[in-house]
Copies of this chain bind each other. A is one copy, B any other.
């Protein structure tokens, strides 16, 4: 049986999972690959560090040169996070003739065009299934399985940490800070979870998917994004009262005048599949013009789901499928003009949920309604509960308004104006609604 020599660079959580799959399940991997996938080297920073996998003698090394200078090693799982030295190492490995498998979405979102152009120049390939939605093979599904379609839209929950936090806040009524602490204890959240909870991670993944599905060349930092880090449990309660849950939704919609991309906490109707995605799961709903809607649901991260995606890519690369796809699709080419442009965020249509605190006296609602009318926003429903205790005419009461469809620009202008009304205290919470 043929043998492909593989190396892993970076033996963290995912790297350890990849090593385990290759070492513990060599027979079935060989059966699925039609060849032996042989782990020849694993490059680590510190040989002395204890590990959760038994590596045969001579496999672990601190020297990247042991991989670079070994012509027998043809495929490398490059599993170092962050931008540097990950970028430099990837360039070195490709220059040495290695095909790359990576899970590093930040690196691709930031340096994709440079790395992919270099790969093509060198006749190498980069596989990156593990970079988006770990256990859901969305890269292969969009690039290959749905290749007969024009993708019309993608909506998804792409950040498992945020979804875990929101689910726990919603179901347990816990505070944001308490849930973040719990997520860190469980290993769902990093010590510094900023990139997960502020929408950065989801925006980077969305930028990659938008490139594959629409040929869009998107700087992820240009995607309008709001995280869940300022989500108030009150809004989860009102949403439920209205028949919705709040999810950090990444959205890509193709319209005649361009592509809409956004990441934002969004009200999604209870009972729809996307609303029922709980804890650290991810889900993506893709609509293609031929296939119609296809819904995917699976674990978004974690050691073995991500390792599963990496090993599938290692097999695809060893077999030769990756190279064919890579040559065909011209991913992240610097030379190619973008096929679609981003729409002006102000023109995007959506329904909105507004929550604000108002003085409880006559004329308040009329003043707010007048602002909305001036911006051509029509009201679908209002919730104002009776003030439990307190002085009815002094304490501000919460007011929730659901609008009919309007533009983001109108919503933003109206909420700014409403926030400046004398009868309104504090700001206005504005969340999009997805029906």
Chain A residues close to B by CB (< 8 Å):
17, 21, 25, 28-29, 31-35, 129, 135-137, 140-141, 144-150, 215, 271, 273, 276, 288, 290-299, 302, 304-305, 307-312, 315-316, 319-321, 324-325, 327-330
The answer on a CB contact under 8 Å between A34 and B321 is: no
Contact B294 A296 (CB under 8 A): yes
Q: Is B290 touching A308 in the complex (CB atoms < 8 A)?
A: yes
**Contacts A315-B148, A328-B319; is A298 near B294 (CB within 8 Å)?**
yes
User: Which of B147, B311, B315, B316 is A311 in contact with, Cβ under 8 Å?
Assistant: B147
Once the chains are docked, how many angstroms separate the CA of A55 from the CA of B25? 51
A31-B215, A273-B297 known; 16 new pairs, CB 8 Å cut-off, are A21-B290, A25-B148, A28-B150, A29-B147, A34-B327, A34-B329, A34-B330, A135-B291, A135-B292, A135-B294, A137-B146, A148-B311, A271-B276, A293-B298, A295-B297, A319-B328
**Closest B-chain residue to A148, C-beta based?**
B311
Query: What residues of B have a CB within 8 angstroms of the CB of A296 in the complex?
Result: 294-296
Q: Closest approach, in angstroms, between the C-beta of A22 and any C-beta of chain B?
A: 9
A–B complex contacts, Cβ < 8 Å, 24 sampled? A25-B148, A29-B147, A31-B215, A34-B327, A34-B328, A34-B330, A35-B328, A135-B294, A137-B146, A137-B294, A140-B144, A145-B312, A146-B312, A147-B311, A291-B299, A291-B304, A291-B305, A291-B308, A292-B302, A293-B298, A294-B297, A319-B325, A319-B328, A321-B321
B144 close to A312 (CB less than 8 A): yes
Tell me which residues across on chain B come within 8 A of A320, comparing CB atoms. 324
A292 near B305: Cβ-Cβ < 8 Å: yes
Name the residue on B nearest A325 (C-beta). Answer: B321
Q: Are A140 and B145 in contact (CB under 8 A)?
A: yes
A297–B293 CA distance with the chains assembled, in angstroms: 8
Report how far A327 CA is from B2 CA in the complex, Å: 13
Query: Could you tell me if A148 and B308 are in contact, using CB atoms closer than 8 angstroms?
Result: yes
Q: How far is the CA of A33 from the CA of B299 in the complex (A)?
A: 30
A145 to B310, CA, bound (A): 10
Residue among A140, A291, A295 with the most chain B CB within 10 A?
A291
Of the listed residues A33, A34, A321, the one surrounded by the most CB atoms of chain B closer than 10 A to its CB is A321
Q: Residue of B at shortest CB range from A138?
A: B145
- Minimal beta-carbon separation of A378 from chain B (angstroms): 31
A291–B295 contact, CB under 8 A?
A: no
Q: What chain B residues lie within 8 Å of A148 (beta carbons)?
A: 21, 25, 29, 32, 307-312, 315
A135 cross-chain contacts in B, Cβ below 8 A: 291-292, 294
CA distance A288 to B293 in the complex (A): 24
| Residue of B whose beta carbon sits closest to that of A145 | B137
